[in-house]
Amino acid sequence: SAVISQKPSRDICQRGTSLTIQCQVDSQVTMMFWYRQQPGQSLTLIATANQGSEATYESGFVIDKFPISRPNLTFSTLTVSNMSPEDSSIYLCSVAMTDGDTEAFFGQGTRLTVV
């Protein structure tokens, strides 16, 4: 199993600013993912954080808006850039183990409000 620590747990930010969310895992994992959950909505995959290379973004998400870093196998960051009220969401980090028995683990999420 994996324990994921996500920081901050919540934040209120001014429009036009940027926020960086951190995701720390207690063990090395191959795959890390970032999801967004807009108010009252389901979870949508933003991107796959690739260690040592650029993240792979899903349709509708771009690197300029959501830059992602993954410097090693236990850590990743997601930055929400030039925020607007529409970016108010819960952002969740997820990891998947590749030991032949996939289970997707989630961090506790970051509740972002943009004012």
Partner 1 sequence: AQKVTQAQTEISVVEKEDVTLDCVYETRDTTYYLFWYKQPPSGELVFLIRRNSFDEQNEISGRYSWNFQKSTSSFNFTITASQVVDSAVYFCALSEARAGGTSYGKLTFGQGTILTVHP
Q: Which residues bind partner 1 (CB under 8 A)?
A: 31, 33, 35, 41-45, 48, 90, 92, 94-96, 98, 100, 102-109, 111
Nearest distance, CB of residue 16 and partner 1, angstroms: 25
The residues facing 23 across adjacent strands are 6, 76
Tell me how far apart the alpha carbons of residues 77 and 54 are, in angstroms, rounded to a whole number: 12
Nearer to partner 1 by Cβ, of 24 and 48: the residue is: 48
Nearer to partner 1 by Cβ, of 6 and 77: the residue is: 6
Nearer to partner 1 by Cβ, of 13 and 43: the residue is: 43
